[in-house]
Structure 1
Amino acid sequence: MSEQTPVGPAIKLPILDISNPDDSAVGKTLLEAATKYGFLYVDSKGTDFTAEDVQRAFELSKAFFASPAEDKEPCRIQSNNRGWSGMHSETLDPEHQRTGDFKEAFNFGEFASGKAQQPLPKVLSPHEDEIGHFADLCTKTCSRILKLLALGLDIPPEFFTARHDPCQGPTGCTLRYLYYPSISAPATASYDHTVDVRAGAHSDYGSITLLFQRPGQPGLEILTPDGTWAPVPVEPERGNGRESVQPGFAFPPILVNIGDLLSYWTDGLLKSTVHRVVFPLSERTGKSSQDRYSIVFFCHPLDSTELVPVPSEVVRRYREGKGAGSAEEKVGFGGGAGNLEPGKRALTAAEHLALRLNATYDFRQAASVA
Structure 2
Amino acid sequence: MMLQTIPVVDLQDFRSDSPQRQQDFVLAIGAALEDIGFFAVVNHGVDSALIQSAYHVAQTFFELPEAVKRQYEDPQLNGQRGFTSFGREHAKDHPVPDLKEFWHVGRESHLPNLSPAEVAEFQLVMSELYAQLETCAASLLEACALYLGESRTLLRDLTINGDTILRVIHYPPVSIEAHPASLRSAPHEDINLITLLCEATAEGLELLQRDGTWRPIHAVEGQIIVDSGDMLQQLTNGLLKSTTHRVTNPDSDRTRRFSMPYFVHPRPEADLTPLLNCVTQTGGQATFPPITAGAYLQQRLQEIGLKGKG
User: Structure 2-normalised TM-score?
Assistant: 0.89
Q: 1:149 aligns with which of 137, 144, 148?
A: 144
State the partner residue of 2:47: 50
Q: Secondary structure at the match of 1:209?
A: strand
State the one-letter code of the partner of 2:222.
Answer: P
State the partner residue of 1:240: none
State the partner residue of 1:7: none
1:358 aligns with 2:302: yes
Taking the aligned partners of 1:127 and 1:154, their CA distance within structure 2 comes to: 41
State the one-letter code of the partner of 2:82.
Answer: G
State the partner residue of 1:137: 132
State the partner residue of 1:264: 234
Cα-to-partner distance string for 1:20-52 (whole Å, 9 max, x where unaligned): 446122111110000001011011x2x222221
Q: Sequence identity, in percent? A: 24
Taking the aligned partners of 1:136 and 1:149, their CA distance within structure 2 comes to: 20
CA contact (8 A) 1:108 1:116 kept: no
1:108 aligns with 2:75: no
CA displacement at 1:93 relative to structure 2: 4.4
State the one-letter code of the partner of 1:76.
Answer: E
Cα-to-partner distance string for 1:314-346 (whole Å, 9 max, x where unaligned): x244321xx736xxxxxxxxx42xxx4xxxxx3
1:319 aligns with 2:310: no
CA contact (8 A) 1:304 1:349 kept: yes
CA contact (8 A) 1:71 1:122 kept: no
Q: Which has the larger radius of gyration?
A: 1
State the one-letter code of the partner of 1:191.
Answer: A
CA contact (8 A) 1:155 1:311 kept: no
State the partner residue of 1:209: 195
CA displacement at 1:116 relative to structure 2: 7.7
Q: 2:178 aligns with which of 187, 191, 200?
A: 191
State the partner residue of 2:18: none
1:56-205 alignment to 2 at 5 Å? 56-77=53-74, 78-79=77-78, 81-95=80-94, 97=95, 99-111=96-108, 117-124=112-119, 126-166=121-161, 171-183=162-174, 188-192=175-179, 194-205=180-191
Cα-to-partner distance string for 1:3-30 (whole Å, 9 max, x where unaligned): xxxxxxx982111011244612211111
Superposition misfits of 4+ residues, deviation over 6 angstroms:
none
Unaligned runs of 5+ in 2: 16-21
Q: Secondary structure at the match of 1:211?
A: strand
Taking the aligned partners of 1:316 and 1:31, their CA distance within structure 2 comes to: 16
1:229 aligns with 2:214: yes
Unaligned runs of 5+ in 1: 1-9, 236-250, 326-334, 341-345
State the partner residue of 2:266: 301
Q: Secondary structure at the match of 1:230?
A: strand
CA displacement at 1:259 relative to structure 2: 0.5
Q: 1:234 to 1:195 in 2, by over 3 A?
A: same
State the one-letter code of the partner of 2:207.
Answer: I
Cα-to-partner distance string for 1:72-125 (whole Å, 9 max, x where unaligned): 112115226212111111111444x4x31111111112145xx98132221345
Q: Secondary structure at the match of 1:84?
A: strand
State the partner residue of 2:244: 274
Q: 1:101 to 1:80 in 2, by over 3 A?
A: closer
Give the aligned CA root-mean-square deviation in angstroms. 2.2
CA contact (8 A) 2:88 2:97 kept: yes
CA displacement at 1:133 relative to structure 2: 1.0
CA displacement at 1:175 relative to structure 2: 0.6
Q: Secondary structure at the match of 1:162?
A: helix
CA contact (8 A) 2:54 2:122 kept: no
Taking the aligned partners of 1:143 and 1:58, their CA distance within structure 2 comes to: 23
CA contact (8 A) 1:138 1:297 kept: yes
Taking the aligned partners of 1:176 and 1:80, their CA distance within structure 2 comes to: 10
